[in-house]
Structure 1
Amino acid sequence: MIVGHSQQIKILSNMIESGKIPHAMLFDGLSGLGKKAVALDFAQKIIGNSSIDLLVIEPEKGEIKIDQIRSLIEKFSMKPYSALYKIAIINDAHLMNEYAQNSILKILEEPTGDSILILVTDHGDSLLDTVRSRMSRVKFFPVSFGEIKKHLISLGCQNDMAEEIALFSFGRPGVAIDFKNDYSKISFRREKIKELMILISDKTPVYKKFEYIKKIEEPKDLLDIWLSYFRALMIKFVNGEKTNYSISKIIKILTELENAICLITRTNVNKKLVLETLIIKI
């Protein structure tokens, strides 16, 4: 089930009704918003249950390689099997390496009339300019707190728990549903937030902070928790609720966290060094 994104779905439905479907589309927005779900729904509305005419490409070992794109090009060179179109969805398209991105230009520069390419990404700006400029972009935004809470309650979640999850999922239905399906993740998150409070306290010696960082195995997952916590604080501040941080401090921390996540996910930088620098800054 798709939660939210009514405007984007309306735009896509209008494309189908008018018969003016772009040959290449970029679904761009934060992780966990449901972009892939919308892409799959869009594809199904176009080709029905003709799964043989749908190709979904996922990263292999954290990367989308040129061989995967070559297979796609070969598929697109053939006629649809039973539908009017062949559709390919590349999930986490920002993980295409440079060779893969250059290879996909062949599809973008020489489109066939019966193929549709959809790139789904959390980091659209990391794609090559030559790729982005040849695609119709559909931007996805966080879903409202109310929509997520309502959906969680419809799934059997208690009101207080639905509010807590909706708040720290920060508009991302996929994240909210993951927490609802595994309450141990909520306990884990609470524990990590407690550790964060100790970690950024002025009373904690620097060497203790660095010792903690050395033990971190999945920095991206941890940084996402920290980011969601301070985003939730931002929402509370905007709503007039009291927090232990000034608005300027919250904004500074959010900026540093977002920069750190960008470095870790999009470059080959030393992750431990990024975390050490982050802790000093916040």
Structure 2
Amino acid sequence: MTTDLCWCGSGKAYADCHSEIDAKIELYRKAGHEVPDREMIKTPEQIAGIREACKINTAVLDEVEKNIKTGMTTEEINTIVHEYTVSHGAIPAPLNFCGYPKSVCTSINDQVCHGIPSAQDVLKSGDIVNVDVSTIYNGYYADASRMFMIGKVDKKKQDLVAITKECLRRGLEAAQPWGFVGDIGAAVASFAHKHGYSVVTEFGGHGVGVDFHEEPFICHVGKRKTGMLLVPGMIFTIEPMINTGKREVYVDAGNDWTVYTQDGGMSAQWEHTVLITETGNEVLTY
């Protein structure tokens, strides 16, 4: 009946809420496209909760940015992240996730992602480091990362950091309602390849919000108008990992976490959590 309440919990009649969106999704499905199920489309209540988690996540990264410097250990970064997060009533999502031992990931130079903070890892002038923060607040998840250049960084590294940030911007720009996941990958990869960089494909963005990692997987290489349909209410990360050398990577056998470039080239990553809206998108981790 037209007066039935919508499945999303908005309190509105289904006919005035998700009826039109659901009908449009069905048209795409019948045309042979991969479409999201309802679990991937966040409810208004979930979006509000994720937005609050993202505010804390952004504040954590701001706190790191205020304090990061030459001579600091990555363990000190971990302490900043952990203490700020907990003091604001939140939980660092990485801590004890699948056995991960710290509250943040810190990846330096040729480390692609999942670097484990350590008192032995001292930031030196010339280093570039990715600080990847994920936060749980009232049961909802947020995820974002930033690159930091320590002291005097050479132009090659500066260019890598800048191009990677622009790859993220272009990926975000491509994430539009009734577009496709492949649009994001195409936007990222075309810009990276144009400037002579490679794009890591083993790791990518992901749905987030109700859990740490959800569907869909967001590959940063793709073909336009392919992959899963992007629908209002979907929330996921875009987090391109861009290498100066080849794209191949390996996982440190000593800790089973830290990912390195195979050829020792430098790697950079920027990440945001983004909500697909009816008119475009909203970056939740600014």
Give the TM interval when normalised to the shorter protein: under 0.3
Higher share of residues assigned helix? 1
Higher share of residues assigned strand? 2
Larger radius of gyration: 1
TM-score by length of 2: 0.27
TM-score by length of 1: 0.27
